[in-house]
């Protein structure tokens, strides 16, 4: 119970503050509207900063029946009563409602314009590649330049319209929050959410179409350069083709000669290396022969060592052969 009472007091305090704000702002606008009417009597071109649109001015709101609660005070107290005066609360609420209605009208106009622009933008993306003719050399540049200029212009216009629609939605949201601060209106919130969804859908469709057209442009640029190269090659004269073939054959022959020269250089270097090794081995042989001739005892000793090694090898081989024969006889006995 205590929490509910506290909540009620907070709600009542909030509602009172909202009414106080509305009364204060509405009273100031009422005074300003009276000031506007006084100046407008002598100067028909005088315009107030709080005018909603050319057909609905703030002075009309705060000095007519709209500011009296749509004639409610007239019905209650009478038309000639002193109390039948513009009420700042009614005028403020009607003023904000008129602004919201005007913003909704602007939003619908912008949405219709964006819808038409997006349809044209999609058609431009569909027919973009068909405007480019790669058959000749001068026409494709003109067609491509005009198509790209049209694409950039339409993209810039759509971006500006989307920015304006975003600004209108933001202003509508601000006024909706002001008029429904204490008790939000479901209809206003639903309308505002609908306009936001439409803006989001248009933005998504625009960015998707723009990305597709950009991809088509990149692909066409790549294919166009390849096609132009192929066309230029096909349109060249037979003499040029023969000259190109002769030049290619000449390049092949030059490269073959270079490879042969490299192989010959490798062979010559290998031959020189083998000759140098042969000289080194011949020098070593001569030195060994000279040593053997100088020291015959060493030569004799070396021969004896070789004979001793050969005898040991023969003895070892005989022993191994005898053992193998004995094992075989024992195995087959």
Higher pLDDT, 86 or 130: 86
Q: In this predicted structure, what is the pLDDT of residue 198?
A: 87
Q: Does 194 fall in a domain?
A: yes
Identify whether residues 242 and 117 lie together within a single domain.
Answer: no
Kindly state the DSSP code that residue 51 receives in the 8-state scheme: -
Same domain, residue pair 90 and 166: yes
- Number of domains the chain contains: 3
Q: Is residue 20 situated within a structural domain?
A: yes
Q: In the structure, what pLDDT confidence band is assigned to residue 318 with cuts at 50, 70 and 90?
A: very high
167-226 pLDDT per residue, tens:
888 888 877 776 555 455 677 777 788 888 888 888 888 888 888 888 877 777 777 666
Q: Are residues 183 and 118 in the same domain?
A: yes
Residues 72 and 190 in one domain: yes
- 324 and 182 belong to one structural domain: no
323 band by pLDDT with thresholds 50, 70 and 90: very high
Query: Does 1 map to a domain?
Result: no
Kindly state the percentage of the chain with pLDDT values over 70.
Answer: 62
Q: How far apart are alpha carbons 104 and 256 in whole angstroms?
A: 81
Do residues 69 and 151 both lie within one domain? yes
pLDDT of amino acid 130:
57
Q: Tell me if 113 is assigned to some domain.
A: yes
pLDDT bucket at 134, cuts 50 / 70 / 90:
very low
Distances from the Cα of 25 to the Cαs of 32, 191, 217, in angstroms? 10, 26, 55
Indicate the SS3 state at residue 53: strand
Residue 14 and residue 135 share a domain: yes
Domain extent, residue 92, equals 6-233
Q: Which residues of 241-256 are buried (b: 16+ CB within 10 A; e: fewer)?
A: eeeeeeeeeeeeeeee
Residue 250 lies inside a defined structural domain of this protein: yes
Residues 267 and 303 in one domain: no
| pLDDT bracket for residue 88 (50, 70, 90) | low
Shared-domain flag, residues 332 and 187: no
Can you state the angle between helices 2-42 and 88-126, rounded to 10 degrees? 80
Alpha-carbon distance of 81 to 73, in angstroms, equals: 9
| Contact in structure between 118 and 159 (CB atoms under 8 Å) | no
- The three-class DSSP label of residue 272 is helix
């Amino acid at each position: 119970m205590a929490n509910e009472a506290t909540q009620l007091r907070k709600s009542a305090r909030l509602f009172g503050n909202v009414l106080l704000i509305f009364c204060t702002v509405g009273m100031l606008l009422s005074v300003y509207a009276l000031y506007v009417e006084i100046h407008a009597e002598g100067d028909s071109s005088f315009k107030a900063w709080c005018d909603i649109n050319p057909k609905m001015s703030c002075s009309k709101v705060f000095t007519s029946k709209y500011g009296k609660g749509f004639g409610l005070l007239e019905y209650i107290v009478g038309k000639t009563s002193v109390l039948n005066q513009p009420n700042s609360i009614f005028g403020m609420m009607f003023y904000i409602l008129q602004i919201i209605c005007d913003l909704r009208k602007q939003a619908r106009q912008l949405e219709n314009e964006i819808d038409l622009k997006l349809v044209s933008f999609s058609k431009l993306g569909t027919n973009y590649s068909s405007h480019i003719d790669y058959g000749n050399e001068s026409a494709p540049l003109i067609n491509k330049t005009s198509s790209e200029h049209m694409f950039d212009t339409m993209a810039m216009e759509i971006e500006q319209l989307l920015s304006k629609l975003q600004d209108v939605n933001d202003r509508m949201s601000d006024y909706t929050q002001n008029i429904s601060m204490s008790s939000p209106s479901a209809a206003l919130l639903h309308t505002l959410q609908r306009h936001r969804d439409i803006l989001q859908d248009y933005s998504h469709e625009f960015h998707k179409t723009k990305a597709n057209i950009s991809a088509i442009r990149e692909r066409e640029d790549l294919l166009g350069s390849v096609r132009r190269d192929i066309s230029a090659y096909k349109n060249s004269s037979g003499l040029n083709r023969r000259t190109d073939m002769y030049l290619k054959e000449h390049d092949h022959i030059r490269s073959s000669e270079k490879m042969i020269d490299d192989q010959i250089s490798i062979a010559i270097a290998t031959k020189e290396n083998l000759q140098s090794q042969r000289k080194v081995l011949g020098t070593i042989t001569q030195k060994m022969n000279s040593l053997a001739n100088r020291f015959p005892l060493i030569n004799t000793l070396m021969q004896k060592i070789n004979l001793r090694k050969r005898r040991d090898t023969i003895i070892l081989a005989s022993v191994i052969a005898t053992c193998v024969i004995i094992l075989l006889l024992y195995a087959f006995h």
